[in-house]
Amino acid sequence: MEMAGRGDSGLEKEVSMLPAIAWKNGSLVMVDQRRLPWKESYLTLKSVEEVARAIEDMVIRGAPAIGIAAAYGLALGMANLKAGADVESEFDSYYQRLWRTRPTARNLFWALERMKRVYEENKMAGLARLKRILLAEARAIEKEDLGINQKIGENGASLIPEGATILTHCNAGALATAGYGTALGVVRAAQARKKKIKVLACETRPFLQGARLTVWELTHDRIPVTLITDNMAGWLMRQGEINLVIVGADRIARNGDTANKIGTYSLAVLAREHRLPFYVAAPLSTFDFSLKSGQDIPIEERKADEVRRVGGRLITLPGVPVKNPAFDVTPARLISAIITEKGIIRPPYTREIAKIRKGQ
Ligand code: MRU
């Protein structure tokens, strides 16, 4: 794994908006999101194992970005294969390794399954051709995601009133996708339509995606952003300082139940109490049509030290037992609408999600 500073990465030339990931000269380049906003540094990944660890350690994170990274990871592993390799078993071991990285985001599995389909259709084509086809598919997944986010933005902008103060959680922006973002894509689209909006970003303990990434990304794009700690949201709603909530998603069940960053559920409950709209913005690749409800969504439990420490510094007793579920599930009844690239879905979700799925 090689590191570079801004300017050496080549990312800024290859992707629009803020660069999270790009394929460059046979390697995968990622901005190291663990080090933002303090340092904008890039890692050059050269093996499947490095890509898998980058996903696990959250060098790259956010559901669509994880899917894109995994697709490129598979293409990378295959690109490195030498003539005479056992192609079938190598593909399978890369696939399994990437599959095990993070359990909650549907986009990871969606992207891997898509790559596997393409692999199965072309595995007899000869190794050189197979390598090109898999890389082209990973590139297509990335490119499509950018377009999908822009469409989500377009569709969602109409829901944002002029002058609105928008509360968001975690980072569902350009850094979490191929660019533009889902929840922050809607924010970007509203700003592009000259609505004078403001964003309140929850800091998002324990990993601080809001404080570190959303603040950085919005400041970069000159979108007004104010940081709050997670426990301030209720009071600010009561004070009339928030007009609506918009968040991304990691997995959405057939009935609209939505897994997203831990703390999202609390915000949805608060929004209902204060009669504020609560919107989810997500691509169809985040929907898990095999799940009837959110009850069966696997929730990742992360390392205890993420909670015990802030920025590496211990804030409690070193051995205190900790809970660290990385996601929660918001019941569909608390969600005002789900904004997708195919349009805005409103309740009853089971029926409306089925309709969108059919039209896919
Ligand atoms: O643990 P993370 O940072 O991967 O969690 C990310 C989120 O919860 C995002 O809201 C979600 O993936 C949507 S990103 C467009």
pLDDT digits (tens, 9 = 90+) for 299-342: 999 999 999 999 899 999 999 999 999 999 999 999 999 999 99
Q: Identify the DSSP state of 180.
A: S
pTM of the predicted structure, to 2 decimals: 0.95
pLDDT value at residue 201: 98
pLDDT value at residue 3: 55
Q: Which two tokens stand for residue 157?
A: 């902008």
CA of 66 to the centre of ligand 1 (A): 9
CA of 161 to the centre of ligand 1 (A): 25
- Identify the structural domains of the chain with CATH numbers, from first to last: 2-149 (1.20.120.420), 153-358 (3.40.50.10470)
Nearest-atom number in ligand 1 for the CA of 105 is 12
Pairing assessment for the beta strands 244-247 and 165-168 based on DSSP bridges = parallel
DSSP code per residue over 9-27: S-HHHHSSSS--EEEETTE
Strands (E), the chain: 2-5, 21-24, 27-31, 41-45, 165-168, 198-202, 225-228, 244-247, 251-253, 258-261, 278-281, 287-288, 309-310, 313-314, 327-330, 337-340, 343-345
| Ligand 1 binding residues, C-beta < 6 A | 61-64, 105, 170, 172, 176-177, 182, 209, 247-250, 260-261, 326
Q: Which of 57, 221, 230, 250 is catalytic?
A: 250
- What gap in Å lies between CA 292 and CA 82, rounded to an integer? 43
For residue 348, is the peptide bond before it cis, meaning its omega torsion is within 30 degrees of 0? yes
Identify the residue whose tokens are 């195919």. Answer: 342
pLDDT value at residue 11: 46
Query: Of 116, 138, 133, 113, nearest to 27 (Cα)?
Result: 138
pLDDT digits (tens, 9 = 90+) for 343-353: 999 999 999 99
Q: How do the pLDDT tens digits run along the chain, 360 residues long?
A: 655 555 454 444 333 355 799 999 999 999 999 999 999 999 999 999 999 999 999 999 999 999 999 999 999 999 999 999 999 999 999 999 999 999 999 999 999 999 999 999 999 999 999 999 999 999 999 999 999 999 999 999 999 999 999 999 999 999 999 999 999 999 999 999 999 999 999 999 999 999 999 999 999 999 999 999 999 999 999 999 999 999 999 999 999 999 999 999 999 999 999 999 999 999 999 999 999 999 999 999 999 999 999 989 999 999 999 999 999 999 999 999 999 999 999 999 999 999 999 987
pLDDT value at residue 1: 60
Q: How many CA atoms lie within 13 A of 297 on its CB side?
A: 32
Residue nearest to atom 8 of ligand 1 (CA): 261
pLDDT value at residue 15: 34
Q: For residue 131, give every residue at least 6 positions away whose Cβ sits within 8 Å of its Cβ, in sequence order, or none.
A: 75, 78, 79, 81
Pocket probe mutation, ligand 1, options 109, 151, 260, 307, max atoms within 8 Å of Cβ: 260
